[in-house]
């Protein structure tokens, strides 16, 4: 885990120690870093320890751009598997005008967003709910899915990488 001292930050940015401490306090309050006596470090995970509403707002413009780019590349009539994440929720909003989509998701917000599109079939994969991500457990959800799908996975956590491998193995073996 990378750490840095208050003094090093002040020197690096050419500001006073008071300015650095004030900024650190604000970033800590937003959950974007963890402070300790004399310095700071990144949280244990880039998103795991950040409150859901804050993750939604984090890099919101970048998520919008990603969502528009993805939506432009998804043909009408596609079948998609959409995983957890606030970026995938932005993608779901960008897909609202697509016709004939079939979306299987473990993201309860994605399901709610896409349910506003009458021409979109939304299937929520079963499993145990996860309060931190407003989703269904990815491991359990994958085991409920069969068939060949276009996969859309965005979260970069260990669990998601593991689930992506499981999904590819499951879908390519059919």
pLDDT above 90 (res 110): yes
Give residue 157's pLDDT band: very low, low, confident or very high (50, 70, 90): very low
Could you tell me if 66 and 88 are in contact, meaning their C-beta atoms sit under 8 angstroms apart? no
Q: Which CATH architecture has domain 54-172?
A: 3-Layer(aba) Sandwich (3.40)
Higher pLDDT, 35 or 167: 35
Could you tell me if 50 and 43 are in contact, meaning their C-beta atoms sit under 8 angstroms apart? yes
Domain boundaries, the chain: 3-44, 54-172
The two beta strands, 39-41 and 34-36, are antiparallel
């Amino acid at each position: 885990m990378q750490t840095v001292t208050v003094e090093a930050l002040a020197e690096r940015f050419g500001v006073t120690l008071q300015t650095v401490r004030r900024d650190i306090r604000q970033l800590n309050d937003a959950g974007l870093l963890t402070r300790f006596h004399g310095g700071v470090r990144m949280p244990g995970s880039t998103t795991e320890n950040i409150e859901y509403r804050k993750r939604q707002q984090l890099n919101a413009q970048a998520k919008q751009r990603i969502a528009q780019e993805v939506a432009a590349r998804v043909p009408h009539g596609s079948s998609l598997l959409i995983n957890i994440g606030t970026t995938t929720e932005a993608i779901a909003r960008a897909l609202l005008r697509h016709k004939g989509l079939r979306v299987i998701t473990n993201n309860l917000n994605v399901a709610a967003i896409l349910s506003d599109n009458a021409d979109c079939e939304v299937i929520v994969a079963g499993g145990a709910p996860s309060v931190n991500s407003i989703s269904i457990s990815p491991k359990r959800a994958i085991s409920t899915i069969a068939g060949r799908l276009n996969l859309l996975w965005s979260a970069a956590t260990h669990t998601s990488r593991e689930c992506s491998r499981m999904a590819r193995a499951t879908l390519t073996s059919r």
